Amino acid sequence: MTTESPHWAKAQAVFDAEIEALQQTRNRLDDHFNQAVDLLQTTLAEGSKIIVTGVGKSFHIGQKIAATFTSTGAPANVLHPSEAMHGDLGLVQSGDVVLALSYSGESDELVNLLPMLKRAGARVIALTGTTDSTLAKHSDLVLDAAVTREACPFNMVPTASTTVALAIGDALVIALLAARGITREEYARFHPGGAIGRALLLKVEDIMRTGDRLAAISSAATIRDAVIAMTKAQAGAVAIVNDDKQVAGLLTDGDLRRYLAGGATDVQTRPVADLMTANPISIRTGQLAADALAIFQKHRFDDLVVLNPDGTLAGMIDLQDLPKFKIL
């Protein structure tokens, strides 16, 4: 790396160019975007399809957009213009919507495809950087994806323009998801095999520690009792409960280490209530594992108390257990 032109400075320049392009696109959004989302929603409601097409880099961006649509319950197909000329045009039916990507709006393969799409009865949404192009003029709706400059020094390599196209695609997906009222549980059903799906399908009771693996002691217990309970359960924390099984506090191994590091000599007799965190953050049975994961990420601790609907102790979730459930 040279001091005159470090690589990270080049990277920052790329980020700056793409951030600028995204900000300009954000500020340029208008009612055409609303109409596009409405058209997509109506298309799906009528049982028709979303089809995404493009050439070159635009085709690759289109593949990702189509995959994101599908992952949110809005089935989308990808159609390459060249393949369309050799039989794949049969994919297009009357009532379908074609999202056509081309920065110039003049790609020969795509322009040649337009009359056939219209003849098939499809409606076309153009995602282009040239709003007076052939593609734009022959589309039902036009989404402006123009950028002031690409991020490359020659202003030629598709960089800022492909980032903008992808962002507009993502915006369409999320706006459509909201318009269709897709719930988190419905989204989880589209991802049963991944970490996302498991976190959204599993409940906290599926991942919490109970029985011999749950460390719990009375609020009248001592620090020594807490150490023994945690050791037996091989747990990183112990819940302190009162006579009604309501959780009064939580003591973690970190609390114990800090206590011992301070030169403590009264482990045998000191009440656990002196060191515990009273009224610890908790979660209720019936909630999703994703909710527990969000709490861990927000508060940066390792142990989460799980309560029954009546507030009594149900179990404990240990952050160290989550990898085996494949939700991290």
Split at pLDDT 50, 70, 90, the class of 191 is low
Give pLDDT tens digits for 214-240: 999 999 999 999 999 999 999 999 999
Is the pTM higher than 0.85? The answer reads no
Q: What is the mean pLDDT of residues 132-152?
A: 96
d(CA 90, CA 84) in angstroms, rounded, equals 8
Q: Among the listed ranges 40-54, 175-189, 203-217, 264-278, which one has the minimum average pLDDT value?
A: 175-189
Q: What is the pLDDT of residue 184?
A: 76
One CATH from 3.60.130.10, 1.20.1050.10, 3.10.580.10, 3.30.930.10 for 204-325: 3.10.580.10
CA-based R_g, the chain, Å: 28
Q: Among the listed ranges 46-50, 284-288, 318-322, which one has the minimum average pLDDT value?
A: 318-322
Looking at residue 303, the DSSP 8-state letter turns out to be E
DSSP string of 124-170?
A: EEEEES-TTSHHHHTSSEEEE---S--SSTTS-SSSHHHHHHHHHHH
Helix 57-71 to helix 160-180 angle, to the nearest 10 degrees?
Answer: 20
- C-beta separation of 114 from 135 below 8 A: yes
Residues of the chain above pLDDT 90, percent = 82
- C-beta separation of 52 from 65 below 8 A: yes
Q: What is the pLDDT of residue 1?
A: 45
Q: Is pLDDT of 135 > 50? A: yes
Q: Structure tokens of 78?
A: 């990808």
Q: What is the mean pLDDT of residues 194-208?
A: 80
Give pLDDT tens digits for 161-174: 999 999 999 999 99
d(CA 21, CA 207) in angstroms, rounded, equals 44
Q: What is the pLDDT of residue 328?
A: 61
Q: Does domain 7-182 have CATH number 3.30.1440.10?
A: no
Split at pLDDT 50, 70, 90, the class of 186 is confident
- C-beta separation of 185 from 200 below 8 A: yes
d(CA 186, CA 22) in angstroms, rounded, equals 30
Split at pLDDT 50, 70, 90, the class of 199 is confident
> In 3-state terms, what secondary structure has residue 50?
strand
d(CA 85, CA 210) in angstroms, rounded, equals 62
Q: What is the pLDDT of residue 290?
A: 85
Every domain of the chain and the residues it spans: 7-182, 204-325
User: How many C-beta neighbours within 10 Å does residue 218 have?
Assistant: 14
Split at pLDDT 50, 70, 90, the class of 263 is confident
